[in-house]
């Protein structure tokens, strides 16, 4: 089954929405789990958006702080790319 | 092979472009002093108010009650009685809110020598932030500035304002994960290491006599209480004892906080 089939797209959309909503309302580990799930399965730009939203919302804002979630998102997206290409090729 | 390459090229380009875009947005936010994050936090406050309104409406409508309990309620309650119960419930909500606000009035009276502070609603859950922060629904427009101390109705310092928007502010918890604060119990000073959720731990010499429930003060926060001694772990084989410090109020249940003005 292709990863671009409608059901896969729906799953990706739902997980992405849970991740973005979770950045506002749910415990911090929920967006993190969504980021990891999305990055493992899809070349998902949502991972970067969730990471950015988490850091913009919750970083204390005292000078420059390390944006842990954004860096995690970038690492997840680009480190998982060869893995996805190897095992999840359509 | 060529088809596969062509299929994979486009998503990678999009990802690369978006990676550059999110890094640009983050740097733009840092360089402009938080213009992006203040907009986002303002949106978060509006979303929090809406979700609170909607969840209150759903809970009040009884949609998620079980059928059995609804049938039982229908059998046992007359319509008039239900109306009285509703009124009693509304009265209880107002009574609790009134008690909380009265506590803040007492707090304000106690701290009035230092100038007028602001009572602000907590608009985010403390569990949502991985950095030990939470949002309050008052900001620069209400006179809140960075460094202001944030107190519970009991006068315990829960944190300090770390960032301000127009009508929102970010509070960094005193006991945020990884944070450390100078504290003292019964005249003995030590460094408390925060572990999040209003908890901290510290190592002190075993010779010190410290009791459970003794208040923990913070010299750097104007000798105000930041918690109480929750428990003590001590061993005869060790020269030190470990204190577990807790905030005597559940951070998740905080609805209002009092923000002290910064003294010049």
> Can you tell me the ipTM of this complex?
0.82
Q: Does B48 touch chain A (CB under 8 A)?
A: yes
- Any idea which residue has 């003590």 for tokens? B232
Q: Is A82 on the interface with B (CB under 8 A)?
A: no
Please tell me the predicted confidence (pLDDT) of residue B213.
Answer: 86
Q: Which residues pair with B135 in a beta bridge?
A: B170
Cβ–Cβ contacts within 10 Å for residue B245, how many? 27
pLDDT at B4: 45
Q: How many other CB atoms sit within 10 Å of the CB of residue B108?
A: 15
- Asked if B244 reaches chain A (Cβ–Cβ under 8 Å), the answer is no
Q: How many domains does chain B have?
A: 1
Domain holding B202, by residue range, is 180-246
* Residue B136, pLDDT score: 92
d(CA B2, CA B7): 9
In a domain, B202, yes or no: yes
**A68, B132 in Cβ contact below 8 A?**
no
Q: Give the integer Cα–Cα distance in Å for A42 and B235.
A: 52
Mean pLDDT, residues A38-54 = 90
Buried b (16+ CB within 10 A) or exposed e, B61-92: eeeeeeeeeeeeeeeeeeeeeeeeeeeeeeee
Residues of B in contact with A20 (CB under 8 A): none
Beta bridge partners of B157: B151
| Residues on chain A touching B36 (C-beta within 8 angstroms) | 56
* b/e map A24-49, b = 16+ CB within 10 Å: bebebebbbebbbbbbebbbbbbbbb
Whether B131 contacts A59, CB under 8 Å: yes
Is residue B236 included in any domain, yes or no? yes
What CATH number should be reported for the domain holding residue B223?
2.40.10.350
Q: Collect all residues of chain A within an 8 Å Cβ-Cβ radius of residue B30.
A: 64
Spell out the per-residue pLDDT of chain B, length 264, in tens.
Answer: 444 444 555 777 888 899 999 999 999 988 888 888 888 888 888 888 888 778 777 766 666 667 666 776 677 776 666 556 556 655 665 776 677 777 766 666 655 555 578 889 998 888 899 999 999 998 888 889 998 999 988 889 999 999 998 889 999 999 998 889 999 887 788 999 998 888 999 998 888 888 888 889 998 888 888 999 989 888 777 888 889 999 888 888 888 899 988 765
The mean pLDDT value of chain A amounts to 85
Global model pTM greater than 0.80: no
- Residue B125 in any domain: the answer is no
User: Would residue B28 count as lying in a domain?
Assistant: no
The answer to the question of residue B22 being in a domain is no
Q: Is residue B226 part of a domain?
A: yes
CB spacing of B162 vs A60 below 8 angstroms: yes
Q: What distance in Å separates residue B18's CA from the closest CA in chain A?
A: 7
């Amino acid at each position: 089954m292709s990863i671009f089939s409608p059901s896969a797209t729906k799953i990706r959309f739902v997980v992405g929405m849970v991740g973005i909503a979770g950045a506002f309302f749910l415990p911090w580990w929920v967006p993190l789990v969504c980021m990891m799930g999305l990055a493992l399965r899809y070349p998902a730009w949502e991972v970067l958006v969730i990471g950015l939203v988490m850091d913009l919302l919750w970083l204390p804002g005292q000078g420059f702080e390390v944006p842990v979630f954004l860096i995690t998102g970038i690492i997840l997206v680009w480190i998982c790319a060869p893995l996805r290409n190897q095992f999840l090729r359509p | 092979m060529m088809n596969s390459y062509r299929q994979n090229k486009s998503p990678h380009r999009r990802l690369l472009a978006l990676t550059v875009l999110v890094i640009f947005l983050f740097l733009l936010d840092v360089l402009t002093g938080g213009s992006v994050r203040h907009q986002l936090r303002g949106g978060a406050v509006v979303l929090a108010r809406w979700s609170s309104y909607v969840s209150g409406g759903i809970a009040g409508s009884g949609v998620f009650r079980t059928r059995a309990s609804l049938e039982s309620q229908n059998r046992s309650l007359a319509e008039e009685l239900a109306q009285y119960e509703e009124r009693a419930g509304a009265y209880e909500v107002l009574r609790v809110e009134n008690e909380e606000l009265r506590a803040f009035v007492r707090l304000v009276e106690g701290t009035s020598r230092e100038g007028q502070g602001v009572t602000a609603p907590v608009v985010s859950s403390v569990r949502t932030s991985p950095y030990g922060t939470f949002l309050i629904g008052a900001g620069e427009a209400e006179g809140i500035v960075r460094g202001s101390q944030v107190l519970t109705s009991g006068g315990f310092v829960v944190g300090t304002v770390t960032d301000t928007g127009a009508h929102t502010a970010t509070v960094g918890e005193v006991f945020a994960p990884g944070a450390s604060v100078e504290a003292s119990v019964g005249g003995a000073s030590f460094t408390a290491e925060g572990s999040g959720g209003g908890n901290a731990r510290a190592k002190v010499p075993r010779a010190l006599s410290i009791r459970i429930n003794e208040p923990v003060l913070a010299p750097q926060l104007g000798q105000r209480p930041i918690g109480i001694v929750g428990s003590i772990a001590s061993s005869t084989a060790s020269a030190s004892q470990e204190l577990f410090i807790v905030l005597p109020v559940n951070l998740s249940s905080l609805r209002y906080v009092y923000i002290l003005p910064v003294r010049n």
